[in-house]
Structure 1
Amino acid sequence: MVQSIKTFLMFEGRAEEAMNFYVSLFGDAAITQLTRYGAGEPGPEGSIHQAHFTIKGQSFMCIDSPAKHGFTFTPSMSLFVDCDNAAEVDRLFAGLSEGGQVMMPLDAYPFSPRFAWVTDKFGVSWQLYLPQS
């Protein structure tokens, strides 16, 4: 087996909603594997036991945790997205910031002509970056 590293996102009942949302925002994204909890299993029947999806060639996993926990995502770990153009930054910003929180407003910065840092409605932190020309 080839060793790999994936970003793992743990939700409490919103994994499918989040995964579908992310896949809908990116043109190069797909759900590649999905298993659900069945009757009598630890999680609520039909919730996500484990799912795999890709965005821009990067692999992600997500689950609906059957165990309640006292923590969630933190902005100290964020998904850094290299965008192809300003329109992509703007589109992703509009989608990811809706219902979320803007941590750095969409603007030009010394390190990028178009950049924003947002936490989406699921609590996942995203940095949207356009490289200097």
Structure 2
Amino acid sequence: MISNVIPYIMMDGNAKEAILFYQKVLGAELLNQQTFKEMPENPEFAIPEEAKERISHATLKIGESHLMFSDTFPGQSRTKGDQVTLCINSTDSSFSKKIFESLQQDGEVNMDLQETFFSPAYGIVTDKFGVCFQVYTEEKS
């Protein structure tokens, strides 16, 4: 079952600046923020020095809504229009898989649905209409 859908904004190294701006202008509350250097180390994927201070994930609360942010890696391409994705939050991995498989029909998988350090089932897919979705499964406490 879907718990909510959250806009996710990809920035090119200026997510911290955008977060501060939205806190000031919209009265947003910073719920969490993590840089790439704060992520668990992965020997198969070293974080480049120039990426370490960039935001890997942050969440703002604006009223009753949330807005998520991340920076790209230096040199990673980002096309205007790809900057905002929709993050579908689910509480069930099998339901996340069903949503992901449905969205990928006639679309394109950007990142396979897989277990990550932050989610039991997470993936990115662009549907047949060109809308990019992150499918995120919340960990059960």
- Give the shorter-chain TM-score range: 0.3 to 0.5
- Which has the higher Rg, Structure 1 or Structure 2? 1
Structure 2 length as normaliser, TM-score?
0.45
Higher relative contact order at CA 8 Å, sep ≥6: structure 1 or structure 2? 2
